[in-house]
Amino acid sequence: MSPLQIMSAFPTHVGAKEWEDTADLNRQLKEAIYKRREEDPTGLYRSNTAGTWHSDDGLLRWTGEAGKKLSQMFGESFRAYAGTYGADPQGECDIHMMAWGMVYTNGGYATVHSHPNCHFSGVYYVDTDEADEITMATGARVRPGDIEFVDTRGSSGYQRKGLKFQTAFRITPKSGQMIIFPSWFPHFVHPVRSGERIAISCNATILKYIPPKQEKENDSDQ
């Protein structure tokens, strides 16, 4: 009798990249975000809670040269991520992006949400200084400021002690790290207990994709 064959159906891909030599870029982004927060201390309220400042969506513009560099980084990562949907890296991929800054302080966090009206989403971490772990009621150990993705299959309806019917997918980010995921994937940010955490979120919409032209077969080779 053959063993049970386990196959993977509809996996969700999350991309992660740690960029090198980002200290100067992060400093410029941090200064621009602080300046924007001084100009607009209220900011916006979306998935963010009290203790979390949310900028407008024009960050890639008002951060100047640092924003141009970050735009290139996001664009490169989104194009690479599009490969999980069959995009050829040699093809023409026109992407529209908009980004905003988040400053988490004093227990600030982001509630469960997704990013509608776009294809992909990403987050770049400018400054992460949390290290302490906290133990949840379930026994799980979580680092403040972790980003956690939510299983959309609803598999937690009936539990049995000792079995993991719904596992958590968490990432403890690092400064200079970028995470890319499908925009429909629900996620949230655990409360930041002390210090600050500065992150930049970005939405990407594929405006046009043209596969590379296939080389015509040479009749003489047939």
Q: What is the band of 160 on the pLDDT scale with cuts at 50, 70, 90?
A: confident
According to the model, what pLDDT value does residue 120 have? 98
According to the model, what pLDDT value does residue 171 have? 94
CB 97 within 8 A of CB 202: yes
**Which residues, listed in sequence order, are joined to residue 37 by a DSSP beta bridge?**
none
Q: Cα 184–186–190 angle (5° rounding)?
A: 150
Tens digits of per-residue pLDDT, 14-69? 999 999 999 999 999 999 999 999 999 999 998 998 889 999 999 999 999 999 99
Average pLDDT over residues 148-171: 81
Q: Where does 82-165 have alpha helices with state H?
A: none
According to the model, what pLDDT value does residue 1 have? 87
Task: Examine the pLDDT at 219 and tell me if it is beyond 70.
Answer: no
Task: Examine the pLDDT at 152 and tell me if it is beyond 90.
Answer: no
pTM over 0.95: no
The superfamily CATH assigns to domain 15-152+167-209 is q2cbj1_9rhob like domain (2.60.120.620)
3-state helix, strand, coil in the chain (%, to 5): 20, 30, 50
Q: Quick one: which of 149, 146, 105 has its CA closest to 14?
A: 149
Q: Quick one: which of 134, 143, 123, 132 has its CA closest to 54?
A: 123
